Amino acid sequence: MPAKLSTRPLLGRCTITGGLGLVLLGAGLPAVAAEGSEADLSRFYRQKVVWSKCDGVEMPEDLQCGKVTVPLDYARPRAGTLELALARYRATGRSRGSVLLNFGGPGGPGVSELAAGGKDFMSLTNGYDVVSFDPRGVGRSSPVTCGTGPATAPDEDADLDEDPQAVLKQLRKVADTCTKHSGPVLPHIGTVNASRDLDIMRQALGDKKLNYLGFSYGSRLGAVYAAQFPEKVGRMALDGVDTLTEPLTEQGVAGAAGQQTALEDFVDWCVKDIACPFGTDARTAREEVVRLVDSLDQDPVPTDFGEDFTGQDLVGAIGQALYSKELWPSLERALASLVEDGDTGPLLWFSGGGTAFRAGGGIALRADNGTDGGLVDQEDVPLDNLPAALMAINCADDPDRPSARRITRELGRLRAEYEQASPVFGRYRLTEVLTCYGRPKGTDFIRDEVRDVRTPKMLLVGTRGDPATPYRWTVETAERLGDSAVVLDNKGEGHTGYASSKCVHRKVDAFLLYGSLPPDGSSCGPEDDGR
């Protein structure tokens, strides 16, 4: 394909990767900030969640919503506050407290995810209130955005080989535009602060220990919490385990390779069906996918949303559908609609273009009753919030900021490495990685400090055929966390195992509800995966 780079797919549409009153609650209020600086946080730990019916026509009747207030800047807790949105399903019987869920991303809004997929977690209501949340900068919680318009759609004709400086100039422009539109929350986004927010939620929910189930990026958040608050860890399960050490460049290559493998598996499945739009020969079909992406990059097609549909938009949509084998029939039909009728609508559903969110022009923190960052209405969540938050959080978590000279020197090698990993997903994933250029250096806390945690046993689930978080990350993260980590090997396909494997579902529930852990290194076979 042409050696060009476009940042538009990451900014123009939602590309999912891949969920409160003041009363003194008592003991255990941390008085020390994340990296050693002391700060008085007692007023934030004197909260109790006030629950009420959730607003919105698509909200389940039995889902309750609330909020919690956290400091904008933990080093200066009087400098401003944020409100974070929460939602819960109440325990059906006697509750032993709450289990908090994070659905990943980073940038995934927990409230809407729990509203849409709550049935998968009803078994946990046998003992817990099941709670999810929109992390800072995400969903209704002061959502970051890169805005809309020409400033977020740089010239797509910058050639990586001929003019890398033009590419870097574009990336810096995108970073500046995101800063302009996102408001004060952007410098304080990231997992280290989200983990501290999680501890305030724990206390506001009335729990002495945090019981937690984190998927994909949510495993990173759980691991950081275990390092910051080891004495507050209850029962913690991490499914689709993220890396804690690999630089974003290496993560991107692994992600591209994983998605390419998943695409090839999909194509092998598709060509056995007469309705497959790429024919009946797997090798030819894979070549047809590449040609389709290149063709749309050269000649995009119009959509009902005002923006043309490019090859990179197609790549983003395919990537989302490959996270679950259950979506393959829908992906096949969506691709057939594009190939045979020129209809992008079904593919836009995968990439987020079919959501009801409108493209906001930026969210300003407001000042009501002493709170600067109040919740925004669901309809005011910017359309690009998820990809904007994904970029912001990943960059905030990564300390590597190579110089322009180094990027220029290595750009050709990186492009070749990514395209070798995947002729379909390589360019897209490289674009994601390069978007950190022009942003402030991220924290080194995760890479340097999240290790050898002294917590109760934690359950780590890795799936062998996971296209987003390779199984080796589960093994590496378990070794890094130390003796507390217990690994469950899911010999299945797809991203994470809880929703797709009955075996994984049973074992995670048994641990969270009853404290029953499988032996370290035990497995769930593909015959148990429920597909």
DSSP bridge pairs for 214: 102, 238
458-465: strand order across its sheet: 52-53, 63-71, 81-89, 129-133, 98-102, 210-215, 233-239, 458-465, 485-493, 522-524
The one-digit pLDDT tens for each residue of the chain (531 residues) are: 333 444 444 443 333 333 322 222 233 334 334 444 467 999 999 999 999 999 887 899 999 999 999 999 999 999 999 999 999 999 998 889 999 999 998 999 999 999 998 999 999 999 999 999 999 999 999 999 998 654 444 445 555 556 778 888 888 898 999 999 999 999 999 999 999 999 999 999 999 999 999 999 999 999 999 999 999 999 999 999 999 999 988 999 998 999 999 999 999 999 999 999 999 999 999 999 999 999 999 999 988 776 789 999 999 899 988 888 888 999 999 999 999 999 998 998 876 543 322 223 333 333 333 345 789 998 899 988 988 999 999 999 999 998 888 888 888 899 999 999 999 999 989 988 888 988 999 999 999 999 999 999 999 999 998 888 999 999 999 999 999 999 999 998 889 999 989 999 999 999 999 999 999 999 998 854 333
* pTM metric for this prediction: 0.86
Other C-beta atoms lying within 10 Å of the C-beta of residue 304: 10
Instruction: Round to whole Å and give the CA distance between 514 and 507.
Output: 10
pLDDT of residue 53: 94
Token pair belonging to 513: 């509800």
Taking alpha carbons only, the member of 267, 256, 211 closest to residue 237 is 211
User: Cis before residue 106, ω within 30 degrees of 0?
Assistant: yes
Cα angle, residue 497 at apex, residues 494 and 498 outer, rounded to 5°: 140
Taking alpha carbons only, the member of 323, 97, 319 closest to residue 208 is 97
The answer to whether 391 and 429 are in contact (CB under 8 A) is no
The answer to whether 106 and 394 are in contact (CB under 8 A) is yes
Instruction: Round to whole Å and give the CA distance between 206 and 260.
Output: 45
User: Which letter does DSSP use for residue 330 in this model?
Assistant: H
Token pair belonging to 502: 């009955």
Other C-beta atoms lying within 10 Å of the C-beta of residue 450: 23
Measured over the CA atoms of residue 402, residue 406, residue 408 and residue 409, the dihedral's sign is negative
Where does 162-310 have alpha helices with state H? Answer: 164-182, 191-204, 217-228, 248-270, 282-298
